[in-house]
Structure 1
């Protein structure tokens, strides 16, 4: 694995900010300290940001075992990165809310993910994210139309659809627009 130039600067910044900092603040501090992470002038802004993010996350996950030998654990999220003394970290209530991040760790430690990054690759990642985001948003709206909670089963969706479709069917004097919304919600949820 190639040497990540951010290992030492990030370790220094984490020790200098015991209160922790966000990934954005970390990125800005690295740039302020003179580390230019956007070396490729031909890369799109999205690709440059992806590469900066990847380098930071790769460095954080590579620093975990090094800092553990020094008696520290790193909690890692985009919104808050912080060093904790190992004793207080493992005995605090925070450990109960920190999810297992093995899939993320594996991704960011796989240098081939960085090497294969291109503007098209990053665009596809972003498109996939927005499609998942929009579909989850649409799913919530569809569930609301049917009067259901987030964890509704397929059978509950069918029952709610049949009940509302019967109530709003235009042939039975119901509202055609509401019937259409109920049908569209059902179709979206059953995909």
Structure 2
């Protein structure tokens, strides 16, 4: 039996999504991009994720939300028990050794707050996702382009060229059509990047 087959044979089907994600990350010491982790969980037939086409924008949003909710819960748990530090970045989700005081979780993290509030999952519809895209283009053409771009990138002060580029890479990783994302969404992301580069880079 190959290593990959062994990984799936030993996959903890009855565990919650946090434990399932941790199991797969333990097999990959160098970490995994979000899309690869999502695909690995789907291949292992995790019952916590919708087994529908990720080309559907709402399915992609819900899969992404459920996974990040589980990852933030796992990060809190690992930190509190001093087992490890979970680095959460769409380009590389990775388990790292726990080092006291070096990776404090005490700072306010708006993304953590967002993903741990499951009302966002329950209340976001396909129309909401479409409205987000429509709102971006409408506001951009009405002269509010910078504000619309910042909202699309979910950026708040302090805004630096480095943060803009990092967020752009994260959004591309999540929404590129080659990874199951939407072409329309990618056009919005690229347009927002061009706008922010004019103002900040």
Instruction: Find the partner of 2:64 among 53, 57, 60.
Output: 53
Task: Give the structure 2 partner of residue 22 of structure 1.
Answer: 33
| Partners of 2:41 and 2:35 in 1: CA distance | 10
Distance (whole Å) between structure 2 residues aligned to residue 11 and residue 18 of structure 1? 11
Give me the whole-angstrom Cα distance separating, in 1, the residues matched to 2:36 and 2:52. Answer: 22
**Mapped partners of 1:5, 1:125: distance in 2:** 31
1:137 aligned partner = 194
Structure number having the greater helix percentage:
1
The alpha-carbon deviation at position 123 of structure 1 amounts to: 1.7
1-structure distance, mates of 2:108, 2:45: 30
Q: TM-score, normalised by structure 2?
A: 0.56
> For the residues of structure 2 that align with 1:21 and 1:139, how far apart are their CA atoms?
28
Name the CA distance, whole Å, in 1 between partners of 2:116 and 2:39. Answer: 22
Instruction: Map Cα deviations across residues 53-83 of structure 1 (whole Å, 9 max, x no partner).
Output: 0011000001112222152011111111001
1:35 to 46, 50, 54: 46
Aligned to 2:122: 115
Whole-Å Cα distance in 1 between the matches of residues 87 and 63 of structure 2?
19
Distance of 1:22 and 1:44 partners within structure 2:
18
State the partner residue of 1:80. 92
Structure 2 spans left out of the alignment, 5+ residues = 1-14, 138-147, 150-188
CA RMSD of aligned residues (A): 3.3
